[in-house]
Structure 1
Amino acid sequence: MSQRGFDLTQLRTFVAVAESGSVSAGAERVFLSQSSVSEQLKKLEERAGLPLFVRSKQGVAATPAGSRLLDHARRIIAMNEAAFEDLQGRSLDGELRIAITDYYRPHDIARILKSFSEQHPRLKLHVDVLPSAVIDSSAGNAPSFDIGVSLRLVTDTARAAGRRSAASSTVVRREKLLWVYAADAGPRPATPYSLVLLPSSCQLQRFVVKLLDEHKVPYLVSHSASGVAGLQLALKAGLGISCLNESSTGGGLVPCPPSVNLPALPAVEFHLLSGQVGESERVSNARMALMRLFN
């Protein structure tokens, strides 16, 4: 009788490639060579009896069969994690309060939190979207959240501040910052640049304005949005340009061409922080579990 079902390692690799959009990026996530990942995907497709990806110069995209398998694979991996945590005595229950910046993977965060909930079905999540400055300033003394996820600029000043707070902060992801505008807005934006911004309470937006002023780049503020989702909509509507981290761009937005006179941008990091000094074992276990998903 032939073996039925899928190999868990191959499913993990498949999910990593599907979510990252390329074999090379997926290989980095599972700490394997590209050749090993390609071999695993080949075996998985042979097992499935169907092509799971459409491959192109831009990367890979799931076929209809691949999309169906992706939903199953996420649930299988989540159930496997939940079973292991339960047998290790680390199954989570009770309530967990998470404060998160809306810059963090806005197209993926709902799925990530759903996976976390599926891995810990007895845990009730409360999620608040807050400015990174509020999360950072409250870390260690925040009665309103147990775990925070904030965005920080990777600059010399930020590195110095990061060293001072390293004990309570863990970097879970690093991304590029990009100048972006609507994909159908033309070959290049015109000057003075129409700038789409968030309120001045956003540290990234304050940095953008200061950077443009320092480099004497002509601009005018054409639109002010209340959050990243509103910023994305304004940009897609062709109301101007803005600065976004790579995972916040999504469809309909493209990087400004190199010919545009805009200053270089630093990278950003997402930090996982403890809301309380002396956190409970339950929160510590939850933070470790989140670190496996927040990458």
Structure 2
Amino acid sequence: MRQRGFDLAQLRTFVAVAESGSVSAGAQRVFLSQSSVSEQLKKREERAGQPLFVRSKQGVNATAAGSRLLDHARRIIAMSDAAFEDLQGRSLDGELRIAITDYYRPHDIARILKAFSEQHPRLKLHVTVLPSAVIDSNADDDASFDLGLSLRLVTGKPHSSGRRGGAASTVVRREKLLWVSAADAAPRPAMPYQLVLLPSSCQLQRFVVKLLDEHDVPYLVSHSASGVAGLQLALKAGLGISCLNESSIGGGVVACAANIGLPALPAVEFHLLPARPGESERVSNARMALMRLFA
């Protein structure tokens, strides 16, 4: 009799490829070779009886059938993880408050938090979007959140997280920082550069202004947005240029060409703040579970 259903490990591989957009990136996420992942995808499509991906030089995109399977796969994986955590005595209940920067994967964060909630259905989740500087500076004393995820520039200079005792934060993701503009903008923007920025409370925007000043690049601030979503809309509307980390670049916005006279940008990292003294077992377990999802 032909086996029914799907293998859980292969479903994890399928989800990794679908979310990363390429076989090579998906292989890195599940710690397998590209050939192994390609073989798993082939078996998955044979089992499904229809193509799950459209392949091109740019990567892979899920077909209609692949998108349906992706929804099922995420729920199946979440339920499996929840069952395992429960049997290990690590199932979470009560309430958990997370402070998170809105630069972190804005097009994907809702799905990530939904997966976390499905893994821990008895946990009530509260999420607050705050500037990274506020998250870092209140790491010790702010009782409004249990866990914080902030963005930091990779400049080679020491960074103070505000956490007493020198406890190190955990880097869960590293991305390129890019100059960006509307997809239909002129290849070479007019001088002075029209900047679309967030308020000065944003460390990334302060860095951009300082960097341009240091390199004597002429600019003026043409639009100020209140958050990353507003920044994306202003960029898409062609109101100017700005810089965004890779996962924040949305539709209608593209990276600027490298030869338009703008200084090079550093990478950015997303840090999960370290435990506070006396952190509860519930928060510690949630930290470990979120580290896997945030990565």
Matched, 1:248 2:248: yes
**Which residue of structure 2 lines up, in the alignment, with residue 75 of structure 1?**
75
Which shifted more, 216-225 or 185-194?
185-194
RMSD (Å) for aligned C-alpha atoms: 1.5
Aligned to 1:183: 183
Q: Which residue is equivalent to 2:34?
A: 34
Find out whether 1:121 has 2:134 as its counterpart: no
Q: Distance in 1 between matches of 2:135 and 2:160?
A: 15
Paired letter, 2:84: F
| 1:105 equivalent in structure 2 | 105
Kindly, what percent of the aligned residue pairs are identical?
85
Q: Which amino acid aligns with 1:237?
A: A
Q: 1:25 to 1:58 in 2, by over 3 A?
A: same
Report the alpha carbon displacement of residue 167 of structure 1 after superposing the two structures with TM. 2.2
Aligned-residue offset at 1:27: 1.1
- The DSSP-based 3-state class of the residue aligned with 1:156 is coil
Deviation at residue 274 of structure 1 after TM alignment? 4.2
Mapped to 2, the partners of 1:54 and 1:61 lie a distance apart of 5
CA apart distance, 1:286: 0.2
Distance 2:97 2:277 in 1: 15
> What is the CA distance between 1:278 and its match in structure 2?
2.0
Letter in 2 for 1:282: R
Name the stretch that deviates more: 250-259 or 197-206. Answer: 250-259
Structure 2 Cα separation of the partners of residues 155 and 52 of structure 1: 41
* Aligned twin of 2:292: 292
CA distance in 1, matches of 2:258, 2:145: 41
Q: What is the CA–CA distance in structure 1 between the aligned matches of 2:4 and 2:126, rounded to whole Å? A: 39
Q: Tell me how far apart the structure 2 counterparts of residues 59 and 220 of structure 1 sit (CA, whole Å).
A: 38
Q: Which amino acid aligns with 1:235?
A: L
What corresponds to 1:63 in structure 2?
Answer: 63
Rounded to whole Å, the distance in 2 between the matches of 1:225 and 1:89 is 45
Deviates more, 1:1-10 or 1:182-191: 182-191
Secondary structure of the corresponding residue to residue 51 of structure 1:
coil
Q: Which runs of 5+ in 1 are unaligned?
A: none
Please report how far the alpha carbon of residue 171 of structure 1 lies from its aligned counterpart in structure 2 after TM superposition. Answer: 0.5
Letter in 2 for 1:174: R
Deviation at residue 201 of structure 1 after TM alignment: 0.2
Q: Deviations over 1:70-94 (max 9, x none)?
A: 0000000000000000000000000
Q: TM-score, normalised by structure 2?
A: 0.97
* CA shift digits 1:202-238 (9 cap, x unpaired): 0000000000000011111000000000000000000
Letter in 1 for 2:2: S
1:1-295 pair list within 5 angstroms: 1-157=1-157, 159=158, 161=160, 167-274=167-274, 276-295=276-295
> Which string of whole-angstrom CA distances, capped at 9 and with x for unpartnered residues, describes residues 101-143 of structure 1?
0000000000000000000000000000000001001112220
Residue type of the partner of 1:171? Answer: V
Q: Can you give the 5+ residue segments of structure 2 that lack an aligned partner in the other structure?
A: none
Q: Distance in 2 between matches of 1:79 and 1:241?
A: 43
SS in 2 for 1:268: strand
- The 4+ residue runs of structure 1 with deviation greater than 6 A are none
Aligned 8 A contact 1:177 1:268 in 2: yes
1:287 Cα deviation after fit: 0.3
Tell me: CA distance 1:166–1:182, structure 2 relative to 1, closer, same or farther (3 Å): farther
Write the distance in 2 (CA, Å) between the matches of 1:7 and 1:224.
49
SS at match of 2:133: helix
Q: SS at the partner of 1:103?
A: coil
* SS of aligned partner of 2:79: helix
Q: Distance in 2 between matches of 1:209 and 1:277?
A: 37
Q: Is the 8 Å Cα contact of residues 141 and 277 (structure 1) preserved in structure 2?
A: no
CA distance in 2, matches of 1:188, 1:69: 43
Query: Quick check: 1:146–1:274 contact (8 Å CA) kept in 2?
Result: no
Supply the AA of the counterpart residue of 2:279.
E
Amino acid at match of 1:183: A
Secondary structure of 2:250's counterpart equals coil
Normalising to structure 1: TM-score of the pair?
Answer: 0.97
Note the alpha carbon deviations across 1:231-289, whole angstroms, 9 max, x for none. Answer: 00000000000000000002211111112100000000000014732210000000000
Letter in 2 for 1:172: V
For residues 105 and 46 of structure 1, the distance between their equivalents in structure 2, rounded to whole angstroms, comes to 32
